[in-house]
């Protein structure tokens, strides 16, 4: 759901972002966001805006004005990552977007225009990301069950947590 509660938005295997207006008694389907080339793996709302960020399995990241009648990307980077983007997070102030995936690189982007602000290598494939409410810390979860707390400005891991119990295929 959008922060205003009016829209429901979902990404699909068909490379589209589907939108519905859920504000009234009747749910109405809206024009989709078109422009990805592969499975839309990640979606996140950008605070204090009417924008979302999306990422796909071919490495593209895009920002959309989800309230437009027929949304087009505000900006997109078709080669934001080398392959599958598995996680995105938006800073609490809505100024930065973090992304990561199979290429083992953590990147920080400007939410306004997609400028790459910072990047650093990650030891494993990145499967989850989350900013601390202060915006100064970013937590990553990897394929092997290690959670790292990164200083956003320093790009250094401050601490690690062992979550291997979550890395099981029983």
Per residue in 5-18, pLDDT (tens digit) is: 999 999 999 999 99
pTM: 0.93
How far from 106 is each of 29, 120, 157, CA to CA, in Å? 35, 5, 12
How far from 121 is each of 4, 118, 156, CA to CA, in Å? 36, 11, 10
Per residue in 35-88, pLDDT (tens digit) is: 999 999 999 999 999 999 999 999 999 999 999 999 999 999 999 999 999 999
**Structure-block tokens of residue 133:** 């409410």
- Burial class, 55, CB count within 10 angstroms (exposed 0-12 / middle 13-18 / buried 19+): buried
């Amino acid at each position: 759901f959008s922060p205003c509660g009016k829209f429901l938005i979902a990404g699909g295997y068909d490379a589209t972002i589907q939108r519905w207006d859920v504000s009234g008694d009747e749910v109405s389907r809206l024009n989709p966001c078109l422009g990805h080339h592969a499975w839309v793996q990640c979606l996140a709302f950008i605070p204090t805006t009417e924008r979302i960020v999306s990422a796909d399995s071919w490495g593209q990241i895009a920002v959309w004005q989800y309230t437009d009648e027929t949304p087009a990307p505000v900006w997109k980077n078709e080669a934001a990552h080398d392959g599958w983007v598995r996680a995105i997070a938006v800073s609490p102030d809505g100024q930065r977007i973090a992304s990561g995936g199979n290429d083992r690189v953590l990147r920080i982007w400007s939410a306004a225009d997609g400028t790459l602000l910072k990047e650093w290598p990650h030891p494993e494939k990145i499967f989850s990301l989350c900013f601390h409410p202060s915006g100064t810390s970013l937590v990553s979860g990897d394929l092997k069950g290690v959670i790292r707390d990164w200083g956003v400005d320093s790009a250094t891991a401050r601490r690690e947590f062992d979550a291997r119990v979550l890395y099981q295929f029983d």
